[in-house]
Amino acid sequence: MRLAELAQQVGARLDGDGDTVVLRVATLEHAGPQTISFLANARYRAQLATTRAAAVIVAPDDAVATSLPKLIDGNPYATFARVATILHPPERHIPSIHPAAQIDPGARVAKSASIGACAIIGAHATIGERVVLGANCVVGDGATIGDDAVIYAGAILYPRTVVGARSTIHGGAVIGADGFGIAEDAGRWVRVPQIGRVVIGADVEIGANTTIDRGAIDDTIIEDDVKLDNQIQIGHNCFIGAHTAIAGCVGIAGSVRIGRNCRIGGAAMISGHLEIADGTVISGGTTVYDSIRQPGLYTGVFPMLVNAEWKRVAAPLRRLRELVERVRALERKTKAGDDGHGDV
């Protein structure tokens, strides 16, 4: 595709030869002829001078750093995403039902859907237009999958799960399993039935092996345009607001309410029954024990150190409570002296 055509389609400003042909995307380091790359992180700016790409995507401030034909936009990474989608469009699936698929007679499956081998669709389930259901997927009784959704191989949707239009669920994800609901009685555990659902909005992406528990009474809700990475655990009755992005290995306990436009870094842990304000950013590895009422950047991870230095730092931390009490005692003594009641 000509660079001028790409610029028009993605709404970026063209600088240089618009007849430059690009066929695929590549990193600055590994680019070659007929590829287009991008610079969105300052740490890779040096590679801009040595890249063999045919064209690049840069921010306005970086445009003077290269003589290559370029697309200029204030958000080069988002522009790269649009370019990559144009040059590497998703695979088109032919409407079909594999002979090995098992579909309950009471299910409703759109004629434009593609159903893979050994997929199972339960009674009264609804599969929308152009849905792609991969091999070995399970769609439980009464579940609903909206138009143009893609469910990759091996994903499991429990009964009554709702998936919105254009959403994507990757392989191994389990949506709608029992939440961790148990009540203690005389030293034994009594199971609490989980009667809610999981309701997923439109344009949501759920990564491989991510698990989302259905609600105990009310529904677990994932709003529109939420992006979930791989291997995330979301407990029952959680609410995740629209446009929130959560990185891999995050654990979210039950009944957490996360606002809109939040960003949560990998391996963060969030305790149950908390509220996270709209626009909050939580650094990777942070443990959240209390609700966050004001948006901002929150970090609770001790920075990495060489092991020997870490030991030297950790040793005083173990005595922190003792040190605090000593400081308080000194403050009380000083105050008493200032009031004229201490020793002269």
Catalytic residues: 236
Asked if 81 contacts 98 with a C-beta cutoff of 8 angstroms, the reply is no
The residues, any chain, with a CB within 8 Å of residue 287's CB and separated by 6 or more, are 268, 269, 270, 271, 300
Structure tokens at 238: 């959680």
The residues, any chain, with a CB within 8 Å of residue 89's CB and separated by 6 or more, are none
Structure tokens at 322: 């003792």
- Torsion over CA: 30, 31, 37, 43 (sign): positive
For residue 67, give Cα distances in angstroms to 5, 51, 63, 154, 210: 20, 11, 8, 48, 44
Tokens 């961790």 correspond to 180
Residue 91 buriedness (CB in 10 A; 0-12 / 13-18 / 19+): exposed
DSSP, res 337: H
Amino acid identity at 9: Q
The radius of gyration computed from the CA coordinates of the chain, to the nearest angstrom, equals 27
Map residue 276 onto helix, strand or coil: strand
Q: Which helix (H) or strand (E) holds 262?
A: none
